Structure 1
Amino acid sequence: MSWFIRFNKPFDVLPQFTDRANADAPRSTLSDFIDLPGVYPAGRLDRDSEGLMLLTDEGRLQAQISDPKHEMAKTYWVQVEGEPDATALKALRDGVELKDGQTRPAKVREIDEPPMLWPRTPPIRERKTVSDSWIELTLREGKNRQVRRMTAAVGLPTLRLIRYRIGDWALDDLAPGQWDSLQMPELKVAPQRKRDRRPRR
């Protein structure tokens, strides 16, 4: 049996099954929640981020989801410090210049606090003199800590980051720390290269 699962990763959980860097005081990892042989994450999600991860024991599916060349859309709910104005939203849509290059155009919109939101442990830091707000951001690339760097570049530091959707799969009502099994999708078959039938000379 092949496994394809979705998992709602809690805050402060490493997106891997072991913590070799801290053998004396290991941090929480995927193995604290998932006990399935041979499954591996299809892509990463930072320790200080929350939300959807997809895992599988099918190598080709893992590659199709995680390889940037497939440009699979990923949607994030982002709580930011401050109120986004038209200039900041346009910059996020058009692409933001980062140290490792300009980001591709993204979809972004202001949203209300998600109704299905769960409490975070520990809670985010709050400043009484500065308001916060939520945006929904959809990307088709995966630079390191990209969402946080993008919002910081337009003057909206990220306070909380939740990945809600990867491609066709969403968190829906999956609670933090829970996983469930999904139907294995059809694997895309790479087109075969036409053979050159011309006679050799």
Structure 2
Amino acid sequence: MLVIHPIDKTTEMLSILYEGLGARLIEADCSNKKMGHLLHHTSPSERIMLLGHGSDKGLYYRKNDKEEDFDGIIVGHSQAYYLRKHCGDIIGIWCHAMEFAKKEGLHGLFSGMIISEMSEAEEYGVATDKESMDRTNRIMFTQLRRLLDDGIPLHEIPERLKTLDTTQSELSRFNYERFYYL
């Protein structure tokens, strides 16, 4: 499995999804050429996880995790050609990953807007605090990991994940509803 998860303290809980699996992990920026080469040489039968922060333009990275702004896109339009060859075995979790996937004709499990920072909770009017947000997201991604480990087909995961929302908070209802299979 190839995992592209740029280092970011606010999305470190996503490592739950691949810890202990012996995944090839890309945590730092790569040039477009290097990323294209990496994706081109990843077998179409191998799962790819794209995790972190982003937009409908792609997955972001930052050179310095202590900075607020992002430096660029690590996986975007220029890599979509290679991602399309993965026949639906892609997991993309970042804000608006689903919009990116739709635009680029990708298939797999993708998230919409996922609240992982207090500024996002405020922007979307979701009442929570930092401790509750971190705990709720850890629970959600632990449950997602269990579904993946149990071999649940990606197309079943959005509905199954919703039924596992034991927290039933405003935040959990918001986040659990933001998984889609394309």
The TM-score by the shorter chain falls in which range? under 0.3
Q: Which structure has the larger Rg?
A: 1
TM-score, L = length of structure 1: 0.23
Structure with larger RCO (C-alpha < 8 A, sep 6+): 1
Tell me which protein shows more strand as a share of its residues: 1
